[in-house]
Structure 1
Amino acid sequence: MSTPPGRERGDACPGALRLHTADDGALARVRLPGGLLTYRQASVLADLADDLADGHLDLTSRGNVQLRGLADGCGAALGARLRGAGLLPSDRHDRIRNVAASPLSGLDGKGFSDIRPWARELDRLLCASDGLTALSGRFLFGLDDGRGDIAALVPDVTLIATEGGREALLCFGPGPDALRVAAQDVPHAAVLAAREFLAVLRESGGKAWRVRELAPELRPRPERLAARLAAAGIGSAPVPRAALPLGSPPAPGAVQGPGGRWAVSVAAPLGRFSAAQWRLLTRTAGQDGDGELRVTPWRGVVVPGLTAPVAAARLAALADAGLITSAASPWHGAGACTGRPGCVKSLADVRADATASLRAARPGGPGALPVYWSGCERRCGHPGGRWVDVLATGDGYRVAVRRETEDETVAMTTAAGLTDAVTAARDPHPTEPTTAGGPHG
């Protein structure tokens, strides 16, 4: 029988209280279950970026916010201000509050359910569950309103709303099977699924952080989870995991909803907002919207509750401030890890090279693949699905179209050739394989 992969070190995933020491100072990661933020909470984050960090807010691939460049000894002040804003409801559960949710749920007339109540109740249950503190800071819960955007991320525990909104499918990682549960039981069922994962680890003696790290025969079984649910008074039924059409991230721009209400969807270049840009976005929510912001797992932000004229005016102002407001922007779908000088493991200043490349790129076309620059083989924060992997090698860059861990096409280039190589790789319908020029071309 296979055993889960061992981990030679403990999970060092940072949190709001467990800071990570980087070359540019300490780093804090603030969890935002469901990506949900109030106007006041968003304002507090901007103040923290200016007062304690380097004046920026970085968005992560799980819809969380990072503060970098924190000074030594600021942890107590940071924690106190986060608690005061309701952003740190439980010190012990800080790092396990990873909940990604469909950011357009309830806004555009698509999807089968407004999953925000699920996100809030799941967070409450997580903070009340002492046993779940054994989860890794990388374990991800996903709440999908039925459009398939969150399911495409393959979270460890996924709940997918079904047509009619009265039921949901509960899935473990990439497994082929699912359980059908009532919608009102979704948050409790998600917690019980996480407990089942931990039970598998205890029984097998493994130290896996994610469901996908387990051998298929060791992944939590639907029948065992069904028994656990039944013991808690939750009914379920096994069903094959249907081939759900996988949805796309919200495109930048205006989002029309029912009842004459609109939202704006924006992103920052390489997922990094200045405090000034963040405040401009926050004022949009507080002055004209519903007082809510939704941070997405694709390093963007959605602000709901606007009228059509206000949405148009705000998009223009946000574009003038340097934010991404159109899917035609070459910056749309582009990301990068910290790179040099912030990360000692990086082989290049990937953010500078990515910026130079994207500034020279032509506008993107429909369906352009996401692209991510990585300074080393760890590829911290890279997207899932099919994407363009730009990997620093210490002797130029390796550019590959990648699906999960498999490469489809590969080219080598210098930093000077990145624009052409990346543009060709992002084309969703290439006419022929392309090899970029450079010392290895």
Structure 2
Amino acid sequence: MSTALRPSACPGLLRIVQALDGGICRIKLNGGSISAAQAEVVANAAERFAGGVIEATNRANLQIRGIGREHGALIDSLMASGLGPSSAAGDDVRNLMLSPGAGIDRQMLCDTRPLAEQILVTIQGDERFHDLSAKFAVQLHGGEGLAMLEHPHDLWLSATEGEGQTVFAFGLAGCPLDPPAGSVLLEHGHGLVVAVLDLFLEWARPDQTRMRHLLGECSLDRFLAALAERVPLMPASSRRHDVSPIALHIGAHPQRGAERVYVGAVPPLGRLDPAMLRSAAKLARERGDGSLRFTPWQSLLLPGVHADDARDVIQRLEGAGLRCSADDALAHLIACTGSTGCGKGLADTKGDARQLAALMQRNSHAPNVHLSGCPRSCAAAHIAPITLLAVSAGHYDLYFRDAAQPGFGALHARNLTIEAVAALLDARSRSPLDA
């Protein structure tokens, strides 16, 4: 396979991007899923060719960090296991996110995996789609309860019931929580995706790399009118999606299929070491369906576990260093690489997050908090309920999510230490005025 790649700051499997702690390789997983055997290949590659740091990303992919000089050998090992693209130019555009519960979720209206496979074959095999930005992304939601609905995408499709049948509602430059722009029959899902990508590539200027850039100058109505000439559109169906207050990606939860559950486990701050990943892969082979699924919460699932085995699986995962309880404060924190691995990071976000988790655990308070070393917000694709933005080593500005405010939300306090943050959040959780 030729590895002539266009310039980009985004890492891929074939493009190793340098950071302070070495090279980064991003492995894009089809539907977030990886076989136990493939997981062991990733663990071996991270151990042999890098610093042993494996990251779960907020797009349900994996990254290997700290890669040394043996780029070729690392890439070859991953490609040989089936983790790479079908063509070198196709790697950048494999940005298709499914719900972690695709095909197994008890609430799902349709299984999106066959459509996802069809889309991936099309965008990798058709050269015209290789001109898409490495950040241009599509989401498929089959109506699952276990789904990340807050991440913005250039195009999203969400299964819903409309006029006695299941259809895909869809939207542009947003997320499934937004009002849909229209809908299509399920059998027209692939045609819709192809038509949207074609129109975007035909209309967008080179500097308009994302759908939001194009719609900043081209009206949505005009785009939809042109789209209707290529694929049969239906009126936008009325529907409502709510973000579940239950942490469905943590612990054991029933799945489709008699007496089967999936078990969700959170690597601390999204990072696994090779031993941790091997342990999860071994459990998937012995107690699950032989696969692991990574999630947009930077966690992993073991599907297909017999309900009677769930307790033992959880104990063994926790013994390997993963977190399986929603009461664990560390399971609710996300943090970017921070100053130890990124030149733009102003603070050691990973270390500070561990300190904050210990303080919050002591206070029996575990809110969802995002620590970002700079305004780029690499660790979170959506706005977290609470964001700490680093201003210097060990000091952060505190924001609370507010739909009326841009960026991270409403600025609550400036230049706080981690101890001050923990005290403030604890006091806020005890306040009767805090809804």
**TM-score, normalization by structure 1:** 0.86
CA 236–389 in structure 1, closer or farther in 2 if over 3 Å, else same: same
Indicate which of 57, 72, 75 corresponds to 1:76. Answer: 72
Which residue of 2 is the match for residue 398 of structure 1? 397
Indicate which of 130, 136, 158 corresponds to 1:133. Answer: 130
Q: Could you tell me whether the CA contact under 8 Å between 2:105 and 2:144 is conserved in 1?
A: no
Q: Residue 384 in 1 paired to residue 382 in 2?
A: yes
Aligned partner of 1:200: which letter? W
Indicate which of 101, 105, 119 corresponds to 1:104. Answer: 101
1:401-440 equivalence runs, <5 A = 401-403=400-402, 405=407, 407-412=409-414, 413-423=416-426, 427=429, 431-432=432-433
Question: Residue by residue, what CA displacement relative to the aligned partner does 1:1-41 show, whole Å, maximum 9, x if unpaired?
Answer: xxxxxxxx974111111111111111111111310112222
1:236-251 equivalence runs, <5 A = 236-239=233-236, 242-247=239-244, 250-251=248-249
Aligned partner of 1:168: which letter? F
1:322, CA displacement in angstroms?
Answer: 2.0
State the distance in 2 between where 1:333 and 1:310 align.
Answer: 25
Question: Residue by residue, what CA displacement relative to the aligned partner does 1:300-337 show, whole Å, maximum 9, x if unpaired?
Answer: 11111111122210101111222110111111231111
CA 27–430 in structure 1, closer or farther in 2 if over 3 Å, else same: farther
State the distance in 2 between where 1:177 and 1:109 align.
Answer: 24
**TM-score, normalization by structure 2:** 0.87
Q: Which segment is superposed worse, 151-160 or 247-256?
A: 247-256
CA RMSD after TM alignment: 2.6
Question: Residue by residue, what CA displacement relative to the aligned partner does 1:242-274 show, whole Å, maximum 9, x if unpaired?
Answer: 443344663310011241111111111100011
Q: Residue 178 in 1 paired to residue 181 in 2?
A: yes
Q: Residue 194 in 1 paired to residue 197 in 2?
A: yes
Q: Could you tell me whether the CA contact under 8 Å between 1:330 and 1:361 is conserved in 2?
A: yes
State the distance in 2 between where 1:10 and 1:185 align.
Answer: 34
Residues paired across the two proteins, number: 413
What secondary structure sits across from 2:304 in the alignment?
Answer: strand
State the distance in 2 between where 1:312 and 1:187 align.
Answer: 40
Q: Could you tell me whether the CA contact under 8 Å between 1:388 and 1:422 is conserved in 2?
A: no
CA 309–56 in structure 1, closer or farther in 2 if over 3 Å, else same: farther
Which residue of 2 is the match for residue 290 of structure 1? 289
State the distance in 2 between where 1:165 and 1:276 align.
Answer: 47
State the distance in 1 between where 2:362 and 2:193 align.
Answer: 41
Question: Residue by residue, what CA displacement relative to the aligned partner does 1:261-303 show, whole Å, maximum 9, x if unpaired?
Answer: 1111111110001111111111121122111211111101111
Question: Residue by residue, what CA displacement relative to the aligned partner does 1:366-409 show, whole Å, maximum 9, x if unpaired?
Answer: 9x652111111222122414421111102621111134615234
1:319-334 equivalence runs, <5 A = 319-334=318-333
What secondary structure sits across from 1:325 in the alignment?
Answer: coil
CA 101–364 in structure 1, closer or farther in 2 if over 3 Å, else same: farther
Indicate which of 227, 230, 233 corresponds to 1:228. Answer: 230
Question: Residue by residue, what CA displacement relative to the aligned partner does 1:341-376 show, whole Å, maximum 9, x if unpaired?
Answer: 21111111111111111122227989x652111111
Gaps of 5+ in 1: 1-8, 230-234, 434-441
Which residue of 1 is the match for residue 357 of structure 2? 358
Aligned partner of 2:380: which letter? H
Q: Could you tell me whether the CA contact under 8 Å between 1:200 and 1:219 is conserved in 2?
A: no
1:119, CA displacement in angstroms?
Answer: 2.1
CA 40–187 in structure 1, closer or farther in 2 if over 3 Å, else same: farther
CA 81–192 in structure 1, closer or farther in 2 if over 3 Å, else same: farther
CA 411–39 in structure 1, closer or farther in 2 if over 3 Å, else same: same
State the distance in 1 between where 2:427 and 2:350 align.
Answer: 20
1:298-313 equivalence runs, <5 A = 298-313=297-312
Seq. identity, %? 30
1:362-377 equivalence runs, <5 A = 362=361, 369-377=367-375
Q: Could you tell me whether the CA contact under 8 Å between 1:59 and 1:65 is conserved in 2?
A: yes
State the distance in 1 between where 2:200 and 2:330 align.
Answer: 38
What secondary structure sits across from 1:239 in the alignment?
Answer: coil
Which residue of 1 is the match for residue 259 of structure 2? 260
Aligned partner of 1:137: which letter? A
Gaps of 5+ in 2: 1-5
Which residue of 2 is the match for residue 169 of structure 1? 169
Aligned partner of 1:325: which letter? C
Aligned partner of 1:195: which letter? D
Q: Could you tell me whether the CA contact under 8 Å between 2:101 and 2:144 is conserved in 1?
A: no
State the distance in 1 between where 2:432 and 2:188 align.
Answer: 49
Indicate which of 53, 73, 83 corresponds to 1:87. Answer: 83
1:63, CA displacement in angstroms?
Answer: 0.7
